[in-house]
Amino acid sequence: MRMTSTLVVSSLFLTLAPKAAEVEDLKLEYHGAGWLQTGKVENSFSLPNNDNDYENNWMGNAGGLLSVSTKVDEHWDASLGLGTIMVHLARGSRGQASKWYPFWVPFVDEARISHSSTLFSDADNLKLTFGTYHYAYNPDVKNFGQYLLHGYVYPGTLVSGYTGPLGVPLNLTGVQASYKAGGFTNDLMVNMETDDKPLYDISVAEVATLRAHPSFEVGLGVNFYRLVPMNKKATSPGLDCDPNFLGPYATKGQINPCYIVDTAGTGAGGQPKIILGSLAGTKLMGRFRLDPLAMFTSEPGMLGKDAFVLYGEASVIGVKNYAVLYDDIKRRIPVMLGLNLPGFNFLNWSVEGEYYANKLSGDNLAAKNGSWVSVVDDARVNTKRDDWKWSFNASKVLFGNMIFLTQVANDHLRLGGNHDNDTGVEAMRTPEDWYWTTKLAYFF
């Protein structure tokens, strides 16, 4: 998934190598981490005899990463980080849950080259970044949010869990131009899709942030998701997709995940209207951050750093309406709020909540196989069950080089199905569902 960006960055490293050789004091900085994680799904909704029965299922993984970074001169710097993670799938059926089936997944944590310079004055900065890089426009979030740059538009399935092994958000692959002047920042990104199929589509996004005062920050963003498809028929399948490939996902009584049949509309010859669409779409985002204590002091004080910081985000997942399934924009607007609780310089902890009135399925497997049409849940599933989500997060740094993290949540957790087959089904499907997970990591 990250091979393309790694090759691009490697080529840029070779381009800069002669220049680097001229720098006598060129130094490399090494950073790394290793971690163990375990957790358990305490309650999870499933239909009778359903393979996706995650209740009382244990989860676990272990991994490590190593990164090297260097500053070539006052303008150029680069970083390369590689890692691997051993995953034990939480099986969908209890009969297979106790079978140990681990596998190792290598990944590129970061592979970038950046160039910084002033633009209009010595007080501003323009930074160009190429490759795979870390990016979070809402750095306060622990679990929810970051809707603008992650997750499908059609269908509007959300994802959660942006904390990574050490609180690092997921990365992007492409080119970013970031301009900063005072409390204003503008990020323009051209991203290549490397996480969700169909791969390698190009999205163009912009995020503007204004920090009017240390106590208050607002941000706005737009993402033209999959604006340039690598394979137009894969992103916008029309009438030609193969139901045997995508699976028999029924939509309002019709078995074809490529288009929507509008029985209330009239097409050619008086037949039901066929509605064509695409995985591509436009997202909008707005967010805020309020730090009430920063109105009075810049020091953390006895309550701890970022105590009582309130942060929130809302997004429009697709501005275009499609009849039958995507006909109400109000049901495509997730909203999240988070609050950092006082840790008294001992513990960092927070609570987050999310409201999303989407009445469609949270299953995203059809989308990963190329369908923009939402899966329809079994009639026995109450689609009003999951409008509200919640998450409790806590972390503690130990001995300077270790960190302990824990999370208890009802979120958008998705686990593997039978053996190593992904199902795309959310494990938390009712208000009663929840799980816990803990992670212990060493870093340097």
Q: pLDDT tens for residues 327-340?
A: 999 999 999 999 99
C-alpha distance from residue 372 to each of 81, 144, 241, 284 (Å): 34, 23, 11, 19
Phi and psi at 325, nearest 5°, equal: -100, -40
Contact present, 354 and 144 (Cβ < 8 Å): yes
Q: What is the mean pLDDT of residues 19-35?
A: 75
Q: Cα separation of 387 and 434, whole Å? A: 14
Res. 241 pLDDT band, cuts 50 70 90: low
H helices of 140-181, in order, are: none
142 or 386: which carries more pLDDT confidence? 142
Contact present, 338 and 140 (Cβ < 8 Å): yes
Q: Cα separation of 311 and 321, whole Å? A: 29
Res. 360 pLDDT band, cuts 50 70 90: confident
Contact present, 235 and 152 (Cβ < 8 Å): no
Contact present, 218 and 225 (Cβ < 8 Å): no
pTM of the model: 0.88
443 or 18: which carries more pLDDT confidence? 443
Res. 51 pLDDT band, cuts 50 70 90: low
Maximum distance among all alpha carbons in the chain?
78
Q: pLDDT tens for residues 281-303?
A: 999 999 999 999 998 887 878 89
Contact present, 317 and 145 (Cβ < 8 Å): no
Q: Give me the count of residues in the chain.
A: 444
Residue 21, pLDDT score: 47
Q: Cα separation of 162 and 364, whole Å? A: 18
Res. 369 pLDDT band, cuts 50 70 90: confident
Residue 5, pLDDT score: 46
Contact present, 127 and 116 (Cβ < 8 Å): yes
3-state secondary structure of 74: coil
Res. 421 pLDDT band, cuts 50 70 90: low
Residues 6+ apart with CB under 8 A from 395: 167, 347, 348, 349, 403, 404, 405, 406
3-state secondary structure of 330: helix
Buried/exposed code over 33-50 (b: 16+ C-beta within 10 A; e: otherwise): bbbebebbbebbbbeeee
Q: Indicate whether 310 pLDDT > 90.
A: yes
Q: What is the mean pLDDT of residues 35-45?
A: 90
3-state secondary structure of 313: strand
158 or 45: which carries more pLDDT confidence? 158
Cis check for the bond before 334: say yes or no (omega within 30 of 0): no
Percent of the chain whose pLDDT exceeds 70 = 79
